[in-house]
Each structure stands twice: as structure tokens, then as C-alpha cells.
Structure 1
């Protein structure tokens, strides 16, 4: 395993949490292993490890990106990641409101629904 991949896996475990990481590990198979390797090495090992932005900011940016791309599954993960990285529900709400304007009302409202589910599941609503 490369140093970049080890770095990425460590960051991934920290930002998405042990439970999700362990489930992801348990579901890795011959078909998805290479895609997961790319995610670990380049997304987390290369980009999330850069010093230019803190993890909370990266998480909040990821929320907007997932809304813009209409990726609810990944949005759920990134709302949880943002909370793990120190974002508050108020900060997440502000990102959602900005996303409504820049990404469009339907996509933004879907983002609000997804975020509400995550926040409620953590007892934050």
C-alpha cells in the first residue's frame, strides 16, 4: 500500500467516522476495489491532505458540490463529515441556503431534506 493511500485512508477514517469506514471496508470487493483505491489515494490522500483549506471548509464545499450534482447519497455522507469536522447545523443551513440560490431551488430543497435527515439522526434537530 502506498504512503499516499495510507494517508488517504487515515484521513477518510477521521472525516467519515469509524462506523462508515468499517462498513466500506467490509463491502470492498474485486469489482469496486480499484475505484475505492482511487478515492483513497487521490480524493483523500492528495486533496484532503493539502494545507490550503481546513477540513471543515472542504466539507462545506463538498455539500454544495453534491447538491449541484444531485448526489443525495454522497450528500448524506458529506453532511455527516461536515459535522465530524466541526461544522455546526447553522453553518450547514447557510451553505444550503446559498446552494438554493446558486444551484437552483429543486436541488437546494432536496439538499435541505437530506441534511434534515442527517441532523435528526444525530439528535441535532
Structure 2
């Protein structure tokens, strides 16, 4: 993920946040501008995602559940592939989440979630 020392010239909380974003999302980050980006990096990833008490997998499971309920397929399209890439959830576990979502949040929404999951699994299984 991050290159050694890539964020060393930034304040500690900014560096920690950007490194955590890379770890959580599974892709390379660069520093950005503006308050929205700053709060996301420094507060959400520099603080909240680093708190003790829950593993990254626990946080991801909870987040995926909330995103399914909000029908936030765009953000699920980031979280589901990252869960696979970080080996926090397997393809089989994601498919189980789809079945659970269908029964608790309705079949149409579960079907949308299934499309996100199957696309992520298909992409992850293709040889690079």
C-alpha cells in the first residue's frame, strides 16, 4: 500500500489518517484539500477507525450493513472489494450477508447488494 515515508512531511494525525485510509480502502491515497477531505482523513480515519474495541473487520461488517440499508451501492462498491482484498470477508461470507440482507431489508435491496458482491467477487477472481 503506502510507500515508506510517503506521508512523513505531514502532521501526525494527517499521516495516520491517510495510511489508515489506504489500509481500509485497499488503494493508494494522496493528500487532498478542503475541509471535507480533512475531516475524513483526520477525524474518521485518523481517530475513529483507530479506536480500540473493534477490529477493522468488525467496523467493515457494521458499515456494510448500514450501507445496504441506505441503498448506498456506490460506497458498497468501494467497501465490498476492499473487504475481499484485505481478506476480512471471503466470497462465501459476502454471499451469506446478501441472503441475510434479502430477508431483513427486502429482496429488491438485497438483490442490488448481490450485484455489488458478485461484481466484486468476479473482479477479484480474474487473474491480474
- 8 Å Cα contact 2:26-2:86 kept in structure 1: no
CA-based RMSD of the aligned residues comes to 2.0
| Unmatched tracts of structure 1, length 5 or more | none
| Unmatched tracts of structure 2, length 5 or more | 1-9
Higher relative contact order (CA 8 A, sep 6+): 1
Select the structure that is richer in helix. 1
Q: How many residues align?
A: 116
After the TM superposition, which parts of structure 1 deviate over 3 Å for at least 4 consecutive aligned residues?
Answer: none
- 8 Å Cα contact 2:98-2:114 kept in structure 1: yes
- 8 Å Cα contact 1:59-1:82 kept in structure 2: yes
Q: Which residue is equivalent to 1:105?
A: 107
* TM-score (normalizing by structure 1): 0.80
Do structure 1's residue 50 and structure 2's residue 51 form an aligned pair? Answer: yes
Which of the two has higher C-alpha Rg? Answer: 2
CA distance in 1, matches of 2:104, 2:46: 29
CA distance in 2, matches of 1:49, 1:121: 29
Do structure 1's residue 11 and structure 2's residue 12 form an aligned pair? Answer: no
